[in-house]
C-alpha cells in the first residue's frame, strides 16, 4: 500500500467561480491524488475539466471558454490553482473573456500559453476515448498525436504549419490556380514540417513501446503499437524531405481531381494490438480495448521525465475487479498526481489511504476522506 505523500508537480488547491455548475467552490488536496465520487450529473467531470485547462487547448471536453460559464449567471468564469511545479508554489489564474482564456501566473498576465506549458502538463483519459480503436484512422492518429505533443514541445507548431500549408495547397488545386512558385512554396513547408512530424512520431512510438515492454505493470494487458507511413524510412532528414517534395509535386494533378492530398503524414495509420493475445484491437472486447488505451496512456506518463498530472474520468466503468485494482496499482507506482472521477467509492477499497476523497453536494465540493 502506498501512503499519501506530496507528489512532484501537483495542484494543491483549486477554486472555481462561475465555472459550469460551481458558483463559488473550492477543493484543497495538498498535492495528493484525488478521487471525486458522486451520482451522475453532480459535477465530477467539471472538476477534471477545470484541471485540464492547465494544458494548452480546449481541455478534456474540447469545449469553448464561453460554454464553461455558469448558465445561471452567465458572467465570466475564473479558476484558481495553487500549483506546485516541482520547485516552487505558483498562483495560477485562468479566466474567460468572451471566448478567450486569460492566464495569470504569480500576478503577471500572460500573452500566451508558453509559461503555463513550461510549468504544467496534463494527460487525460475520458469516456469518449473508450471507442477510439473502433473508429477510423483519423481518430486513432489524433489520440497518438496528443501523446506525441506532450513529449515534443515543437510538435504542435509543426502540426499547425503543416495543416495550414496543406489546406492552402488543396484550395489552390481546387480553384485550378496552378502557380508553380506558390505551390512549391507550400509543398516545401509540408515536406519540412511533415518530416519533423514523422520523425517525432516514430521516436515517441519507440519510447512508448519500450516503456510498455519493460516498465508497465504485468497485470495490465500490453499493447503493441504500430505506425505505418508513406514516407521512406531509415534515410536522412534531407533525403526524406526531397522525396516528400517530389511526391507532392507529382501528385498535384491526382490531388486536384480527387480533392484529397494523397501523400503525406496525415495518411499515417496508428494501430494498437493486444501483445499477449496477438490480436488486433478491433477484435478485443470493450474492456480490453479500454485497457490497451489506458496502458498506452500510462506508458506515456511513465516515460516522461517530469511527471504530468493525470486525469481519469469515469475510468473504472467496464473494468472488472482485477483490472480496477491493476489500474490503481499502476497509478500509485507511477507516482504522479492523479484525479479520478467515479460513481462508486467501493472501487477504491484497499486504497483509501492513497487518495483524498471528495464528493459534491449542492454544487459544493466536500472532502470526506
Which positions touch ligand ATP (CB under 6 A)? Answer: 20-21, 38, 40-46, 68-71, 314, 341, 343
Stretch that binds Mg ion, among 6-14, 42-50, 190-198, 288-296 (CB under 5 A): 42-50
Cα distances (angstroms) measured from residue 231 to each of 130, 202, 249: 30, 12, 15
Out of Mg ion, ligand ATP, none, what residue 71 binds, judged by CB under 5 to 8 A for its kind, is ligand ATP
From the list 292, 287, 286, the residue with the least C-alpha distance to 271 is 292
| C-alpha–C-alpha distance, residues 52 and 65, integer Å | 13
70 binds, among Mg ion, ligand ATP, none (CB under 5 to 8 A by kind): ligand ATP
Smaller CB separation from ligand ATP, 67 or 118: 67
76 binds Mg ion (CB under 5 A): no
Element of type H or E holding 194: helix 180-214
Closer of 11 and 42 to ligand ATP (Cβ): 42
- Count Cβ atoms within 10 A of the Cβ of residue 258 and give its class: 0-12 exposed, 13-18 middle, 19 or more buried: exposed
Smallest separation, CB 250 to Mg ion (Å): 49
Q: Which does 46 bind (CB under 5 to 8 A by kind): Mg ion, ligand ATP, none?
A: ligand ATP
Nearest to 337 by CA among 127, 34, 80, 84: 34
- The distance of closest approach from Cβ of residue 47 to ligand ATP in the complex, given in angstroms and rounded to an integer, is 7
Shortest Cβ 77–ligand ATP spacing (Å): 9
Query: CB-based contacts of 362: which residues, under 8 Å, 6+ apart?
Result: none
Quote the least distance from Cβ 316 to ligand ATP, whole Å. 11
Rounded least distance, CB 266 to Mg ion, Å: 32
Nearest to 9 by CA among 123, 167, 149: 123
Residue 43's binding partner, choosing from Mg ion, ligand ATP, none, with beta-carbon cut-off 5 to 8 A by kind? ligand ATP
Dist CA 222 CA 200 (whole Å)? 22
Binding positions for Mg ion, rule: CB under 5 A: 44-45
Amino acid at each position: 500500500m502506498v501512503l499519501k505523500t506530496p507528489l512532484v508537480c501537483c495542484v494543491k488547491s483549486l477554486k472555481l467561480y462561475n465555472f459550469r455548475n460551481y458558483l463559488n467552490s473550492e477543493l484543497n488536496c495538498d498535492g495528493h491524488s484525488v478521487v471525486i465520487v458522486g451520482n451522475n450529473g453532480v459535477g465530477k467531470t467539471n472538476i477534471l475539466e477545470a484541471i485540464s485547462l492547465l494544458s494548452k487547448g480546449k481541455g478534456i471536453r474540447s469545449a469553448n471558454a464561453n460554454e464553461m460559464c455558469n448558465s445561471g449567471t452567465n458572467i465570466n468564469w475564473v479558476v484558481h490553482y495553487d500549483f506546485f511545479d516541482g520547485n516552487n508554489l505558483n498562483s495560477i489564474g485562468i479566466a474567460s473573456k468572451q471566448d478567450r482564456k486569460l492566464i495569470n501566473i504569480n500576478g503577471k498576465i500572460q500573452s500566451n500559453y508558453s509559461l503555463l506549458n513550461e510549468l504544467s502538463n496534463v494527460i487525460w483519459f475520458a469516456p469518449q476515448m473508450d471507442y477510439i480503436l473502433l473508429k477510423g484512422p483519423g481518430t486513432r492518429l489524433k489520440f497518438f498525436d496528443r501523446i506525441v505533443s506532450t513529449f515534443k514541445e515543437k510538435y504542435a507548431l509543426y502540426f499547425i504549419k503543416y495543416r495550414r500549408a496543406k489546406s492552402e495547397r488543396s484550395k489552390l488545386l481546387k480553384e485550378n490556380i496552378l502557380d508553380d512558385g506558390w505551390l512549391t512554396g507550400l509543398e516545401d513547408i509540408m515536406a519540412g514540417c511533415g518530416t519533423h512530424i514523422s520523425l517525432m512520431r516514430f521516436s515517441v512510438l519507440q519510447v512508448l513501446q519500450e516503456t510498455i515492454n519493460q516498465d508497465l505493470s504485468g497485470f495490465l494487458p500490453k499493447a503493441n503499437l504500430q505506425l505505418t507511413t508513406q514516407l521512406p524510412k531509415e534515410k536522412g532528414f534531407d533525403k526524406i524531405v526531397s522525396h516528400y517534395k517530389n511526391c507532392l509535386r507529382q501528385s498535384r494533378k491526382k490531388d486536384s481531381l480527387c480533392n484529397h492530398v494523397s501523400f503525406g503524414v496525415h495518411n499515417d495509420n496508428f494501430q494498437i494490438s493486444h501483445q499477449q493475445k496477438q490480436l488486433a484491437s478491433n477484435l478485443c472486447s470493450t474492456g480490453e480495448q479500454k485497457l490497451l488505451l489506458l496502458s498506452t496512456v500510462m506508458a506515456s506518463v511513465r516515460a516522461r521525465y517530469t511527471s504530468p498530472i493525470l486525469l481519469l474520468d469515469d475510468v473504472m466503468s467496464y473494468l472488472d475487479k482485477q483490472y480496477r485494482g491493476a489500474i490503481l496499482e499502476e497509478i500509485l507506482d507511477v507516482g504522479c498526481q492523479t484525479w479520478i472521477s467515479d460513481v462508486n467509492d467501493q472501487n477504491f477499497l484497499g486504497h483509501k489511504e492513497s487518495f483524498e476523497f471528495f464528493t459534491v453536494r449542492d454544487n459544493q465540493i466536500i472532502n470526506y476522506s
